[in-house]
Amino acid sequence: MEPSIQEKFLEKLEEKYGTWSKPTAKFGNTSYGEIAKALSISASQFSKLIYGTATEGMYIRSIENIDRLLTREAIREERDMAVAENERLKLEVGALKAGRANFRRRLLLLLLITVLSSTAALIFFLKSGLPSKEKQQSYAHPLTAFFDKEYDANFNSPYLDILEVQEYCPCSGYEGVWSLSEKYKLPLPGTRKPGVYYVAISADVRMKCSRYDTTGPGKGRVLMGYEYLINEIWVDTKMKPLSPTYFDKNKKAFTPAFDSLAFEGNPQFRKVATIHSFFVDKFEIYPDSIVRKGEPYGRYASDVDQKLADEYQIDIKFILEDVVGDMTTTSCAASANSFCDPNNLKEKESVIAFDCIYTIRRENLGIGGGYPYTKGYRLEEQSYADNLTCGCE
């Protein structure tokens, strides 16, 4: 039988620190508190891990952290051995100066070992000093320094304190890191010519409960989202009109040809710019639905291909301020709440999706009406995932 992820975690702890002694609250000679600090987690999180009430994500991250500690320890031992060998060879070199040929051979060996020990030290510092891929990605969020520091750092986390979790249920279950569940694309009418498109690439979102907003559904049901978006602007070099190929005027819907349209790797389409946007969202959590209200807090363009923009008369500043700006008046329907019991929320699985319609005041492509799209958020890292006592009442 495959060992459970909790058993794997305990095995890793004993491999690193020694046998688990429950009466003394130690692994080997190391206390729970010292281990929690080494793993960059809180004492309460460590207790959840050893007694089987932590999430799978917490176990995976903690096992990876122990593996990194073991790797670091092994590299340090190799480095120390290389340094000791280096010192021994220095003594031999001094004794062998009379034999020049033999001296040269030893010197080459000494240099080789020095290089190897330096390489080992470099690997050690790289492994311990560089952030993981996930953390490198999280650094892109403008509020990283406020949300994502280690538990024992000198900062005040915006997430709820553990003593407030039940008081602000079900909102507390939604706190954490969310992402864009799926990319989506939209035409940008309102530009000078057809064939300009907006593609939503990613959203890095931090969600936290509001302690003070008691309007709408009431205490424990108002969730704030701080959303950092990466989008792209693409141009169709053939400037094909949107309708009828990509949009059905009668049905007010995109065609299958538009749904399957891929810009990346298609020579007919070229990327004009990357758009960075910041939104503040307010989510109202009702037993049967979730309502989202978003407000933009600025956007800017990078990686602008100005030559391409000039060739196709694409005014990036105009798109930022007027065309994309008009999309903020988007009307989104409420999302059905599949998580009225917040204990049903699962990392990497749970999605909240909103069906939206946007219109552009400066419509010039002859379509009229609005353009439909769906924006969804996926739960990546949950701040609190223990037993929440509120239900679907």
- Measured in whole angstroms, the distance separating CA 366 from the mean position of its chain's CA atoms is 39
Query: What contacts 200, CB < 8 A, 6 or more positions away?
Result: 180, 183, 184, 185, 186, 229, 231, 375
Identify which of 117-126, 141-150, 252-261 has the greatest average pLDDT: 252-261
Query: What is the reported pLDDT for 35?
Result: 87
Query: What is the reported pLDDT for 207?
Result: 96
Measured distance CA(15)–CA(9) in Å, rounded:
10
Query: What is the reported pLDDT for 133?
Result: 43
Burial class (CB in 10 A: 0-12, 13-18, 19+), 41: buried
Query: What is the reported pLDDT for 42?
Result: 78
Query: What is the reported pLDDT for 156?
Result: 86
Query: What is the reported pLDDT for 131?
Result: 38
Higher pLDDT, 119 or 281: 281
Query: What is the reported pLDDT for 16?
Result: 87
- DSSP letter assigned to residue 302: E
Neighbours of 283 (CB within 10 A): 23
Single-letter code of the amino acid located at 307: K
Average pLDDT over residues 356-385: 77
Whole-number average pLDDT of the chain: 81
Please state which of the ranges 63-72, 257-266, 336-345 shows the lowest mean pLDDT. 63-72
Query: What is the reported pLDDT for 323?
Result: 72
Query: What is the reported pLDDT for 330?
Result: 63
Q: Is this structure's pTM higher than 0.75?
A: no
Average pLDDT over residues 200-205: 93
Split at pLDDT 50, 70, 90, the class of 125 is very low
User: 245-273, pLDDT tens digit by residue?
Assistant: 988 888 888 899 998 999 988 999 999 99
Of 60, 76, 46, 72, nearest in space to 8 by CA: 60
Query: What is the reported pLDDT for 151?
Result: 64
Query: What is the reported pLDDT for 353?
Result: 95
Split at pLDDT 50, 70, 90, the class of 2 is low
Domain residue spans of the chain: 5-129, 144-382
Dig out the tokens for 270 from the structure. Answer: 């070229």
Query: What contacts 376, CB < 8 A, 6 or more positions away?
Result: 180, 181, 182, 351, 352, 353, 354
Q: Does pLDDT of 182 surpass 80?
A: yes
Residue identified by tokens 């990036």 is 316
Split at pLDDT 50, 70, 90, the class of 128 is very low
Give percent of the chain above pLDDT 90. Answer: 32
Higher pLDDT, 324 or 349: 349
User: 235-251, pLDDT tens digit by residue?
Assistant: 999 988 888 898 888 88
Single-letter code of the amino acid located at 388: L
Give percent of the chain above pLDDT 70. Answer: 80
Query: What is the reported pLDDT for 97?
Result: 59
Q: Does pLDDT of 124 surpass 50?
A: no
Measured distance CA(42)–CA(31) in Å, rounded:
13
Identify which of 47-51, 175-179, 323-327 has the greatest average pLDDT: 175-179
